[in-house]
Structures are given as C-alpha cells and as structure tokens.
Amino acid sequence: MAGFTVAIVGRPNVGKSTFFNRLLEQRKAIVDDVSGVTRDRQYGVAEWAGKSFNVIDTGGFVPQSEDVFEREIKKQVLIALEEANAVIFMTDTVTGITDLDDAMADLLRRSPKPVFLAVNKVDNHERYLEASEFYGLGLENTFFISAMSGSGSGELLDAVSALITDDHLQAMEDEKPLPKFAIIGQPNVGKSSLLNALVGEERTIVSDIAGTTRDTIHTHYNLFEKEFVLIDTAGIRRKNKVSEDLEFYSVIRAIKAMDEADVCLLLIDAKQGITAQDLNIFGLAAKKGKGIVFLVNKWDLMEKETNTARDYEKQLKLKIAPFTDVPIIFISVKDKTRIFKAIEMGLEVFENKQRKIPTSQLNEAMQNAMKAYHAPVVRGHAVSIKYVTQLPTNVPSFAFFTNYPDDIKTPYKNYLENKLREDFNFKGVPIRIFFRKK
C-alpha cells in the first residue's frame, strides 16, 4: 500500500472496529475493498486535517478459543509492523489491563515504528480517572478516547497525522487501484478449494458467519509478490433458507461478485465440461465488460494424451465463440498445479483491460487493416472510415468515424475487432466498437 498506513491492534472487544468505522466515516468515499469483510484484517482510507492515510483493522475474525489468542495477537502485531508506518494499540479501560494487553505491550515496546496507545471506552470523567493505570504499560504516547462518542480521538489523530509527509500524500495519490478478482463457477467445481489454496494454512480462518447479510467477502492478498483483492462468496450460506436452491443462489452470488470485480476467474470442472449455466455466466461477464480467465479445474482427473489440453481448448472455444480471445488454463487445485499461472493470467487480463492505445498507433494499425479489406459497398455508396479513437471508458471501447455508420454490418465489425486483438493485447477482455458519423 502506498502512502502512510496506520494499523490498529488490540485484543478482541476493545473497540478496534468501532474506531475503524468512525475513522472511515470522516471520509465520504470509502475505498472498495472495505465494503466487504476481510478475513483477518480490514483496509480503509481515512482522512484527518486534510491528510489521507490507510488504516488497517487487524481485528478480523479472531478465533474464540484461548490458546490461539497469543498466536493471533503476535500475528496482528507482525502484520502491523510489516505493513504499517505507525501502530495504534487499543485497550479497554472497562476491563483494565489484561495479560494479553501486557503481552502486546511487550512486543510493541520493541517496535521500531511509532506506537500510540489508545485507551478506549473512556466515556466519562470517572473512567478517565480509572484509565490512568494504563500509563503502567510504559508506552510513551498515551491517549484516552471514546471510540463510541469520538471524544479524545482528535488529539490521537493529530499526533498520528503529524507523521504524514508530503511524500506519503503524493504516493497515495499516485497509487493505482488494486485488481479485483471474482472466483465464479457452479457448485463443486472447486471454488472454496482454490480460495483455501490461495489463502494457505496461515491465513485460513474458518468462520461460519451465520446469518450474515453480506453477500461477498473481499480479501486483500499479497501473494507471490503480487497484490490483488479476491472477491468470493464461497463461504457464505444462507442458514435461514429451509430448502436452499443451491444452483439458483450460486448464480445470484456469482452475479454480485462479478459486479464488484475487474476480472472473473471462471472455474469449470474438467470432467464435466462447460455447462449451459457456465455459458450464461460467461455471456453475462462479457456483456458487463469484465475481464475473463477460464480455469479448467480438476485436470488431475483427466486421462491425458499428447493433445488433450489442445483439443480441450479447441472444443471450449467452439462453445464460447465468438468471443474466443480468452485465456484458458488447466489447473488442479488438489495438486496445486498452475495456480500461480492462474493468478498471473488474471493480473495480465487486468492490465489488458486498462490498456489505452495512442490514437496515432491505433490509426496506423487500423488504416492498414481497412486497406487490406474494405468495408463492403452498401446501396451503391462506398463506406469509408476516416479515423479511429479509443474512448476514455472502463471497458476498452473504440469509435470508428465513418460517412455511413449505419451501413457497417456485423461481419466487418468482427473483422475490425479481430484486427484490434491481433495488433494489441486485449486477451480476456471484451471490447466495444462503435461507428459514428463523420
């Protein structure tokens, strides 16, 4: 994360999320990755005194058993020290200093990064008097706050934001948004397994979020030195539905996840092949202008000969035509085969989706294409295309300026699209072509 980052650490129930949410409210626009629950931390952007900074709430879902607390707490501190420029260590005046507070304070006293102790739930004067015991933790910067009412948080934020430099602010402004991937597919194709393989042992937090109203979970990843956000719906089940129509809800969730994503990782089961439902989802993703990567999972179950993958790919492309410029990767989540490749491809498609072709390059390539194959003559008049320009849209879109925009039919349009794809890399990305009167 570029810019200045503050991590909030502390044991469960001290008020980290309350404070986190309060911080984000100061700013009207919240970055996307915060709209979902992250597994072990939440990210957001806050603003104080005109300065923006990132905030990490390391709270997440802490397993509710005593023996894992120590480990969780250590992990939180490690995350904080690794990713943040400063740490807000939160405690709770109602419970007073606990063993876990002591353990965290021990770790944080050795921190090379600035630590601010925020003694929370200091809602009134009486509590303020009690709270002075926290000076005993021996941390230099101590603040007494009420995350609920906001009192005292101003002084804390003044102290934190004093550390934010112009360089931090510039870096923040220059930062590109993280790619967002959605893992989509029919039940049992291996979505949860893929997620778990990506999360790995360390970050797998088994959480049964009963009765949750959230439909998607956004998880921020920093894997294989790549950063991205994964949107998934896999772990969420609606408990209150007596007879859940699995198929139906899987489609509803897929669409939600798709809407929030830049690139869809569309999983299919190698043995089963692509189903009608998969084709619907694929068509919808293309229509919505989302990047797409096909992941043919359970490849380990296939009997393979020399050309199995090539033939499979050919068959698949016949089914998804006409939009066939889509990467197809054969993976086995079980054997962890080509999972890295799948992520790399997702990132490549994301890049392709941002691609902006300079007008001069575009015209040079397209003039050649149009010379090689003229637009057909319609009702006795020649159709000529004067120039092409890429529009400043999210989905790569191209406007061709012509004397007779209505007289250019689908085959020629397809020809131009194919030429665009040959000359510039738009693999996995739906592109749009418009004809305009000139």
- The verdict on 38 binding ligand GDP (CB under 6 A) reads no
The answer to the question of whether 167 is labelled as a binding residue is no
CB of 115 closer than 8 Å to CB of 48: no
212 binds ligand GDP (CB under 6 A): no
Instruction: Provide the minimum distance between the beta carbon of 62 and ligand GDP in the complex, in angstroms, as a whole number.
Output: 8
> Is residue 231 classed as helix, strand or coil in its secondary structure?
strand
Among 27, 10, 19, which residue's Cα sits nearest to residue 122? 19
Query: 51 among the known binding-site residues?
Result: no
Question: What dihedral angle (degrees, nearest 10) is formed by the CA atoms of 68, 74, 75, 79?
Answer: 160
Of 32, 47, 123, 407, the residue at the interface with ligand GDP (CB under 6 A) is 123
CB-based contacts of 340, cutoff 8 Å, min separation 6: 224
Please identify which residue in 52, 111, 141, 188 interacts with ligand GDP, judged by CB under 6 A.
188
Question: Which string of DSSP letters, residue by residue, matches 373-429?
Answer: SPPPPBTTB---EEEEEEESSSS-EEEEEES-GGG--HHHHHHHHHHHHHHS--TT-
Q: Does 275 bind ligand GDP (CB under 6 A)?
A: no
Q: Where are the alpha helices (DSSP H) in 276-357?
A: 276-287, 308-320, 339-354
Residue 302 · residue 272 · CB < 8 Å: no
Could you say whether residue 59 binds ligand GDP (CB under 6 A)?
yes
Q: What is the DSSP letter of 210?
A: T
Helix 16-25 / helix 153-161 crossing angle, nearest 10 deg: 70
**Total chain residues near ligand GDP (CB under 6 A):** 31
> Looking at 16-24, 29-37, 109-117, 389-397, which segment touches ligand GDP (CB under 6 A)?
16-24
State yes or no: residue 246 binds ligand GDP (CB under 6 A): no
Contact pattern from residue 300 through residue 329 relative to ligand GDP, giving x for each residue in contact according to CB under 6 A and a dash for the rest: xx----------------------------
Stretch that binds ligand GDP, among 187-195, 203-211, 395-403, 411-419 (CB under 6 A): 187-195
Is the CB of 164 or the CB of 265 nearer to ligand GDP? 265
Supply the Cα-derived Rg of the chain in whole angstroms. 26
The nearest distance, CB 13 to ligand GDP, in angstroms, is 4
CB nearer to ligand GDP: pick between 129 and 148: 148
Identify any residues that bridge with 8 across adjacent strands, giving them in sequence order: 57, 88
Q: Which is nearer to ligand GDP, 13 or 275 (CB)?
A: 13
Q: Is 235 annotated as a binding residue?
A: yes
- Which 8-state DSSP code applies to residue 277? H
Other Cβ atoms closer than 10 A to 127: 16
Q: Which of 3, 5, 7, 16 binds ligand GDP (CB under 6 A)?
A: 16
Please check if 12 is assigned to a binding site. Answer: yes
272's CB contacts (< 8 A; 6+ apart) are: 189
**75 scored as a contact of ligand GDP (CB under 6 A):** no
Q: List residues forming the annotated binding site for GTP.
A: 10-17, 57-61, 120-123, 185-192, 232-236, 297-300
Q: List residues forming the annotated binding site.
A: 10-17, 57-61, 120-123, 185-192, 232-236, 297-300
Residues that bind ligand GDP (CB under 6 A): 10, 12-18, 59, 120-121, 123, 146-148, 185, 187-193, 234, 297-298, 300-301, 332-334
